[in-house]
Structure 1
Amino acid sequence: MGDLILYIFFSLVAILSFMLLKKPQQRANLPPGSMGWPYIGETLRLYSQNPDVFFSTRQRRYGEIVKTHILGCPCVMLASPEAAWFVLVTQAHLFKPTYPPSKEQLIGRWALFFHQGSYHLQMRKLVQGSLSLDVIRNLVPDIGAIAAACLESWSGGHVISTFHELKKFTFDVAILTIFGNLDTWNKEQLKENYFILDKGYNSFPTSLPGTLFSKSASARRRLSKILSSIIKERKEERSVQKGLLGCLLNSRDENGQILTDDQIADNIIGVLFAAQDTTASMLTWILKYIHDDPKLLAATRCEQKAIYKSNGGGNQPLTWAQTKNMAVTQKVIMESLRMASIISFTYREAVDDVYYKGYLIPKGWKVLPMFRNIHHNPDFFSDPYKFDPSRFEAGPLKPNTFMPFGTGVHSCPGNEVAKLEMLIFIHYAVTKFRWEVVGSKTNGVQYQPFPVPEKGLPAKFWKEC
C-alpha cells in the first residue's frame, strides 16, 4: 500500500513538473475544452452517445473552437465556416490528411486520399477526369438499368434492409464507372471480397485469426490478386480503355513514368470505398425523408411521372437532359445532404504549430472541421432539424455553410456522379414502386461509421400496377 502511495505521489510530481516546464504561452493559448481521462480522453463519451449530442454540448459550453482527446489523440474541433475554410483551403498546407495505419493497410497506401503534393494532384486529376460531366452523361441509361434491376429484386412485399441493399446498387455503379464492362465472374469476386473488407474496416486492428480485421486483411490480399489479373488482361488487350481503369492505365507523369499495378489497385479500392457507403447512406435517408412526408413524396412523384410519361411510360431510357430538369428532386437531395450530413467531420493533422483566432493548435494535434455542426447551425439554417427542401429556393447560401462533399483540394472528386446516381434512383423508385417503412414510428440512428436509419431502414417494396 505504501509503495502504491509513493508511486502515485511521484507520478503527480512528474506530471506537475512537466506542466511547469511547458511554455507559458502554449498552456495559456490552448482552446477551451476537456481532455477527459488520461489516454482514454473522451472517446467513451463520444461512442456511447449520439455524436450530435457530444459535439453540440461542447460547442454550447466552450464555443466554436474546442479541444478534446479522442482515440488516443489530442484534437481541436472547429465548428464555424471560417475555420473550415482556414483548415481546408487557405492554410491547407499547414494541415495534412491523417488516417489510422489500419485504414491505410486495408485500402492501400497509394490511394489518393492518403497523400498531398504532386502525387495527390496527379491522381485527383485522373479520378476527376474519369468522372467528368462529359463522361458520366453517357452513363445515364446504364445507371438507370442498374437502378431498375435493383428495385425489381426488392419487390414482392418482403422486408429488406434498405441500406444493405443500396450498398449493392452503389457498388455496381462504382464498378461501371471504374471498369466499364466487366465480366460477371470478376464482378462477383470483387463484390464478395470487398464486402468482407468493408465489414472489418472499422473494427479493432488486431491480426489474431478469426477477427473481423484479420478477415478484412485477407480479403484485401485477394482483391489485389483479382485486380492484378484484370489489369494484366486490360494491358494485353491494347484497345481504347474507358472508365477510371483506362485513365490510370494511360497515365504518364511529367517524367513519362506509368503507374505501377499497386498504385492502380490501391486507387481503385479507394474509389470503391469512397463511392459505396456514403451514397448508399444518403439514398437510404432520402427514401425515409420522402416516405415520412406524403406531400413531398407526391410532389416528387408528380415531377418524375411527367418525365416518365414523356419517355413513353418508361419505354425509352432516362436522358441526361431530363436529369437536369428535376427541380423538386434536386432540392430533396440538397436538403437530405444537409440534414443527414453523412460526413460529419474530417480529420486533419497540424504539421506545425498553428495559431487561429488567438488559440494555439500544437503540431501533431488532430483538427476536426465539423460539417454537421455547421449544417445544423440555426444562424445559417432556420429550424435546422426540420426537413425542408424549400430552404434551397431562397437564393445563395452564406459561403462555406453547406459542404456535404467537403471543400478544398481533398473534397470528393466524385460528387457529380453521386448526385446523378441519386436522381436516377429516385426517378425509378417513385415512378414504378411504392414502399412502406417497417417500424416507421422509430427515428433511431446508427453510426457505422456513417449515420443511417436504425437497422438500415427495414422496408417493404411493391411494384406499381
Structure 2
Amino acid sequence: MDSNFLWPMLAMFLGSLVVMFGFLKKINEWYYVGRLGEKKNSLPPGEMGWPLLGNMLSLIKAFRSSDPDSFIHCLVDRYGRTGVYKGHLFWSPSIVVCTPETCKHVLMDNEKFGRGNPESTKELLGKQTVSLSTEEHKRLRKLTTNPFRGDKALTMYVGYIEDIVIDMLDELGSINKPVVFLFEMRKLAFKVIGHIVFGTTSDHLLELMEKYYTDLLLGLRSPAINIPGFAFHGALKLLEEVLEERKKRSGIEQKKGQKGMIDLLLEAEDENGKKLEDVHIIDLLIINLLAGHESSAHASMWAVLYLNQHPEMLQKAKQEQEEIIKRRPSTQKGLTLEEIKQMDYLAKVIDETMRRSSLFIPIFREAKVDANIQGYTVPKGWQVLVWTRGVHMDPEVYTNPKEFDPSRWDNHTTKPGSYIPFGGGPWICPGADLTKLEIYIFLHYFLLNYKLELQNPECPVAYLPVPRPSDNCLAKVIRVG
C-alpha cells in the first residue's frame, strides 16, 4: 500500500478513536449533570468518568498501587483543596468529602443527609432501613444503643471476650509453626461476634457466618444484579439462609439460658411498648458483623505489626499491661472494665492504629434534598461519600501521616470530623465501643505473654479490599510469658 495513503488513513483512525473516547467520557456528564439546569453551575469540581464505570477504574488503580491515597491527592492537585468533589463512584453520581469540615458537615446533618448506600446494599439491608424519618431514626437509636454501649453492657461482655482470646492464643502458641495471622484474627472476631450477638459459639453457625460474611461483602460492593452467578444474588440467597438459621439457633440457645445481643434487641421496646421490627434488628446485626469483623480483626493485627516495627513502643505498651497486673488484688481473676480504662498508652496505640490503617470503606450518605457544602450544590438523590482515609492521611490534619506515632495523641484535642473510624453524628456505629473493647483485651493478653515472628518481614502491603500484608501476615505466635 502506498505510504502516502497509509499515513492519512492512520491519522483518521486515531482521530476517530480520540473523538469516540471523548464522546464516551462526556456521556455521564451529559446524563447526570446536564439535566440539572442552573444547579450544574454550582456543583463542586470533578468529572463523571466513563459510562457505567464512572471513576472506578481510577479508584481501583490507586488502591492497587503502593499509594492508595493518590486517588484523593490527584483530586486535590487538579482542583485545589476544596474538600468536596463530584464524580461517579460505586455505580452512582457521587460527591466525595474528605476534609474535617466537610465530613463533619455531612455526618452531623441528618436532616439533609440520610443513610445512603449502593443499590446492592439497600437491597441486602432492606430499603426501609436506609430511608427512615428523623423521628423513627431517633426512636431506633434510643432502642438500640443500650445493648451495645455503656459500662453495664461492656462489663457483661468482658468475660466472654477474655475467655475466647485466652483459648485462641493458647492454641496458636502451642502450634509451633507459621499461621496466617490475619485469618486467625478473623476467626477470633467471628467467635466473639457469635458469642455476643447470637449467644453461642456453635461451630456450625460460625462457619455459616464466615461464609455469609464473605458473600455479603462481595454483594455489598457489587452491582445489584439478582441473577445466579453474580455476587449480589449469592449474598441475597445466603442472607435468607442465615436469617432462618439465626432464628432457630436463637430459640435453642435461649432455652439453655444463654442470651446474646440478638435476644436483647428482640426484647427491647420503647416507652410505648413498641418493639424493633425484624428488618431493623437484621440491619443492626449486619452493621455490627461488618464493623466488628473488619475493624477488630484488622486493627488487632496492625497494632501488633506496628509495635513490632517500633520496639520502644512495644516495650512501653507491655510495661503498662504489667503494671496493671501488679496493681490487681490477689483475689481478682481476669480483667475488669476499670482496668481497661487505665490503659492510657494502649488507648493511644489503638487510636493511632485505626487512623494509620484506615480501612477503605467510605461512609455512605445520600442527599435527601438539594444541599450546600462549602458553597457547592449537592443535588438531591446523589450519594455523598465521607472519605475517612482522606482525612486520616491528610498532612494538613496529621503531621507526617504515614508515620505510626501514638505520641501524637498526647494532650490531643480532636477536631470534629478529623477522626472518624466509626463514622460520626446520629449514625455513628453503635458497636464502636464493643469493637475497641475486643482490641484492648486481645492486646492485653498478647503483649503480656506472646510475640509475633514474621515469616516475610519485608512483605508489601495490599490495599484491596482492605489494607493488609500481601501474605495476610504469615507468622509464628510464640509464647514468651
Given the alignment of the two structures, is residue 319 of structure 1 paired with residue 332 of structure 2, yes or no? Answer: no
1:19 and 1:103 map into 2 onto residues whose CA distance is: 22
Task: Give secondary structure in 2 for the equivalent of 1:202.
Answer: helix
For 1:385, which of 389, 392, 402 is the aligned residue? 402
Given the alignment of the two structures, is residue 191 of structure 1 paired with residue 180 of structure 2, yes or no? Answer: no
The answer on whether the counterparts of 2:459 and 2:471 sit within 8 Å (CA) in structure 1 is: no
The answer on whether the counterparts of 1:288 and 1:437 sit within 8 Å (CA) in structure 2 is: no
> How many Å apart are 1:411 and its aligned residue?
0.6
The 10-residue stretch of structure 1 (409-418 or 153-162) with the greater mean CA deviation from structure 2? 153-162
The 10-residue stretch of structure 1 (394-403 or 365-374) with the greater mean CA deviation from structure 2? 394-403
Report Cα offsets for 1:330-355 as digits up to 9, x if no partner. 11111111111225531111122222
The 10-residue stretch of structure 1 (100-109 or 395-404) with the greater mean CA deviation from structure 2? 100-109
Mark the CA change 1:146 to 1:18 in structure 2 (over 3 Å): closer, same or farther.
closer
The answer on whether the counterparts of 1:311 and 1:318 sit within 8 Å (CA) in structure 2 is: no
Identity value in percent: 28
TM-score of the pair, normalised by structure 1: 0.86
Task: Give secondary structure in 1 for the equivalent of 2:95.
Answer: strand
Corresponding residue for residue 370 of structure 1: 387
For 2:461, which of 423, 444, 448 is the aligned residue? 444
For 1:356, which of 373, 377, 384 is the aligned residue? 373
Corresponding residue for residue 224 of structure 1: 243
Corresponding residue for residue 94 of structure 2: 75
Task: Give secondary structure in 1 for the equivalent of 2:111.
Answer: helix
Unaligned runs of at least 5 residues, structure 1: none
Given the alignment of the two structures, is residue 411 of structure 1 paired with residue 424 of structure 2, yes or no? Answer: no
Corresponding residue for residue 460 of structure 1: 476
TM-score of the pair, normalised by structure 2: 0.83
1:121 and 1:71 map into 2 onto residues whose CA distance is: 28
Report Cα offsets for 1:376-403 as digits up to 9, x if no partner. 2222211111111001103313332122
The answer on whether the counterparts of 2:114 and 2:130 sit within 8 Å (CA) in structure 1 is: no
Q: In structure 1, what residue type is equivalent to 2:380? A: K
Corresponding residue for residue 26 of structure 1: 39
Task: Give secondary structure in 1 for the equivalent of 2:477.
Answer: strand
The answer on whether the counterparts of 1:445 and 1:453 sit within 8 Å (CA) in structure 2 is: yes
Given the alignment of the two structures, is residue 99 of structure 1 paired with residue 117 of structure 2, yes or no? Answer: yes
> How many Å apart are 1:207 and its aligned residue?
4.8
The 10-residue stretch of structure 1 (97-106 or 25-34) with the greater mean CA deviation from structure 2? 97-106
Corresponding residue for residue 49 of structure 2: 36
Corresponding residue for residue 107 of structure 2: 88
Task: Give secondary structure in 1 for the equivalent of 2:463.
Answer: strand
Task: Give secondary structure in 2 for the equivalent of 1:48.
Answer: helix
The answer on whether the counterparts of 2:450 and 2:477 sit within 8 Å (CA) in structure 1 is: yes
Task: Give secondary structure in 2 for the equivalent of 1:435.
Answer: strand
Mark the CA change 1:175 to 1:114 in structure 2 (over 3 Å): closer, same or farther.
farther
The answer on whether the counterparts of 1:228 and 1:261 sit within 8 Å (CA) in structure 2 is: no
1:114 and 1:147 map into 2 onto residues whose CA distance is: 38
Aligned positions of 1:53-64 closer than 5 A: 53-62=70-79, 63=81, 64=83
1:109 and 1:226 map into 2 onto residues whose CA distance is: 23
1:345 and 1:17 map into 2 onto residues whose CA distance is: 26
Count of aligned residue pairs for this structure pair: 448
Mark the CA change 1:462 to 1:313 in structure 2 (over 3 Å): closer, same or farther.
farther
The answer on whether the counterparts of 2:116 and 2:384 sit within 8 Å (CA) in structure 1 is: no
Mark the CA change 1:461 to 1:20 in structure 2 (over 3 Å): closer, same or farther.
closer
Mark the CA change 1:263 to 1:392 in structure 2 (over 3 Å): closer, same or farther.
closer
Corresponding residue for residue 163 of structure 1: 182
RMSD value, Cα: 3.2
1:385 and 1:77 map into 2 onto residues whose CA distance is: 22
Given the alignment of the two structures, is residue 152 of structure 1 paired with residue 170 of structure 2, yes or no? Answer: yes
Report Cα offsets for 1:239-289 as digits up to 9, x if no partner. 8x8542232222234653434555544543443233222221111211111
The 10-residue stretch of structure 1 (117-126 or 195-204) with the greater mean CA deviation from structure 2? 117-126
Q: In structure 2, what residue type is equivalent to 1:217? A: L
Mark the CA change 1:113 to 1:147 in structure 2 (over 3 Å): closer, same or farther.
farther
The answer on whether the counterparts of 2:392 and 2:398 sit within 8 Å (CA) in structure 1 is: yes
The answer on whether the counterparts of 2:104 and 2:416 sit within 8 Å (CA) in structure 1 is: no
The answer on whether the counterparts of 1:199 and 1:212 sit within 8 Å (CA) in structure 2 is: no
Task: Give secondary structure in 1 for the equivalent of 2:211.
Answer: helix
Task: Give secondary structure in 2 for the equivalent of 1:455.
Answer: coil
The answer on whether the counterparts of 1:160 and 1:458 sit within 8 Å (CA) in structure 2 is: yes
Mark the CA change 1:244 to 1:223 in structure 2 (over 3 Å): closer, same or farther.
same
2:272 and 2:428 map into 1 onto residues whose CA distance is: 27
Task: Give secondary structure in 1 for the equivalent of 2:333.
Answer: coil
Q: In structure 2, what residue type is equivalent to 1:96? A: G
2:408 and 2:90 map into 1 onto residues whose CA distance is: 37
> How many Å apart are 1:454 and its aligned residue?
2.3
Corresponding residue for residue 331 of structure 1: 348
> How many Å apart are 1:124 and its aligned residue?
2.6
Task: Give secondary structure in 1 for the equivalent of 2:285.
Answer: helix
